[in-house]
């Protein structure tokens, strides 16, 4: 086999301060191409591995690379083909931690590559309706930048905000898979960029890469399980439950939609936060000595803990002002920006440049 035709598989073993990969991530090299399911890839492990690939004398081994205060260790092995479907199925079926990752990063390398090649980049302005309710979706979308709102219009004409999707999330799959009309509307709450693949191309992609159907059904199963957990918690007396199954953002929106009045108590370890609502409007937030939007920002990062809503406990003195959804969206935006700023401060990534 010619050197340019040889294929290699790389897998991340150990990572320190890496903003691009997580342990277990994989890359595939077929000279001169490099294929990965990440939207952004680091050049350091590739630059280190290329001389090994060109030499070709080692069929397997490990490499180490680093840049400033980040470092990594990768294993590599020579492959006869660029991808092996059986390995892809095994990786998808056994990698439970993949479910928490962005949609594209759950795919095997070649599937993610094929998806990006067939998708189109679509831009939406704040307020644009991306997907109308009661219509059949023509595209499956993956959010690359920005946030969208899933909303439903009640019988009285009032818009009920159900959830917010962010970078890495996807929508439109139910209508694409079933052919049924959508029940909710999807709006851009800020400037958004999505990778959108047309219905016909999406069906062809699933037929060509059956492993994609496993990822989709696993995602839908997770959503159904989460919905069932939420329903059980909503029907429990006083509205109480676990943050592992009922995200804080969903909790705020549930109280807002139901126009509830009272105090929401959220606890994690020895920390206790209180959020006051008046007819669904968030008017108070406190976490120890932290108050207002700073308390919202902090609890938004909690992935575990318990909560209970006390309808008989009047909300404390107001320290928040404005629309509840606007407060929540601004907190989500600050959280996204802070993660980028932390990496910039460490000198690990370059600032994004706008055209």
- Per-residue pLDDT tens digits for 111-144: 888 888 899 999 999 989 999 888 888 999 999 8
pLDDT: is 291 or 99 the higher one?
A: 291
- Per-residue pLDDT tens digits for 137-171: 899 999 988 889 888 765 556 566 667 888 888 89
CB atoms near residue 25 (< 10 Å): 21
Q: How confident is the model at residue 28 (pLDDT cuts 50, 70, 90)?
A: confident
The verdict on whether omega for the bond into residue 27 sits within 30 degrees of 0, i.e. cis, is no
Go through the domains of the chain in sequence order and give each one's CATH number: 3-82 (no CATH), 116-226 (2.60.120.10), 236-342 (no CATH)
Compute the half-sphere exposure of residue 205: CA atoms within 13 Å on the CB side of its CA.
26
- Per-residue pLDDT tens digits for 173-207: 888 877 888 878 899 988 999 999 999 999 888 88
- Per-residue pLDDT tens digits for 41-70: 788 888 888 888 888 788 888 999 988 888
Average pLDDT on 285-310 reads: 90
Q: What pLDDT is recorded for position 139?
A: 92
In the block, tokens 């980049």 appear at 121
Q: What pLDDT is recorded for position 125?
A: 93
pLDDT at 4 over 70: no
Name the residue among 309, 310, 290, 314 with its Cα closest to residue 300: 290
Q: Where are the alpha helices (DSSP H) in the chain?
A: 44-55, 85-94, 109-118, 173-178, 199-208, 211-235, 248-257, 293-300, 324-345
Q: How confident is the model at residue 274 (pLDDT cuts 50, 70, 90)?
A: very high
Report the percent of the chain where pLDDT is more than 70. 77
pTM for the full predicted model:
0.51
Q: How confident is the model at residue 345 (pLDDT cuts 50, 70, 90)?
A: very low
Whether residue 88 contacts residue 79, with contact meaning beta carbons closer than 8 Å, is answered with no
- Per-residue pLDDT tens digits for 64-104: 998 888 899 999 888 754 444 433 444 444 444 555 677 88
Whether residue 99 contacts residue 166, with contact meaning beta carbons closer than 8 Å, is answered with no
Q: How many helices (H) and strands (E) does the chain have?
A: 9, 19
């Amino acid at each position: 086999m010619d050197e340019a035709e040889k294929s290699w598989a790389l897998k991340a073993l150990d990572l320190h301060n890496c903003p691009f990969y997580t342990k277990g991530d994989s890359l595939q090299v077929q000279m001169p191409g490099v294929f990965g399911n990440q939207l952004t890839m680091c050049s350091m492990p590739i630059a280190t591995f290329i001389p090994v690939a060109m030499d070709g004398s080692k069929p397997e081994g490990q490499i180490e690379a680093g840049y400033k205060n980040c470092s990594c260790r990768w294993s590599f092995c020579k492959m006869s083909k660029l991808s092996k479907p059986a390995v892809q199925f095994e990786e998808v079926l056994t990698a439970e931690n993949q479910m928490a990752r962005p949609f594209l990063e759950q795919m095997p390398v070649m599937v993610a590559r094929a998806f990006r090649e067939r998708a189109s980049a679509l831009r939406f302005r704040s307020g644009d309706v991306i997907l109308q309710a009661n219509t059949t979706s023509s595209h499956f979308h993956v959010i690359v930048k920005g946030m969208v709102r899933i909303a439903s219009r009640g019988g009285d004409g009032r818009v009920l905000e159900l959830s917010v999707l962010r970078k890495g999330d996807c929508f439109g799959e139910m209508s694409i898979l079933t052919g049924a009309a959508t029940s909710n509307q999807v709006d851009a709450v800020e400037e958004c960029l999505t990778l959108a693949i047309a219905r016909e191309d999406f069906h062809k992609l699933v037929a060509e890469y059956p492993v994609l159907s496993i990822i989709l059904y696993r995602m839908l199963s997770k959503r159904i399980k989460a919905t069932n957990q939420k329903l059980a918690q909503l029907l429990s007396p006083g509205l109480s439950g676990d943050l592992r199954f009922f995200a804080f953002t969903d909790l705020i929106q549930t109280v807002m939609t139901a126009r509830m009045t009272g105090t929401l108590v959220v606890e994690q370890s020895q920390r206790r936060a209180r959020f006051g609502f008046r007819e669904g409007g968030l008017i108070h937030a406190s976490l120890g000595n932290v108050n207002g939007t700073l308390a919202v920002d902090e609890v938004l990062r909690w992935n575990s803990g318990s909560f209970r809503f006390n309808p008989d406990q009047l909300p404390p003195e107001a320290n928040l002002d404005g629309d509840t959804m606007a407060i929540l969206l601004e907190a989500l935006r600050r959280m996204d920006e802070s993660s980028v700023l932390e990496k910039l401060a460490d000198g690990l990534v370059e600032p994004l440049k706008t055209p």
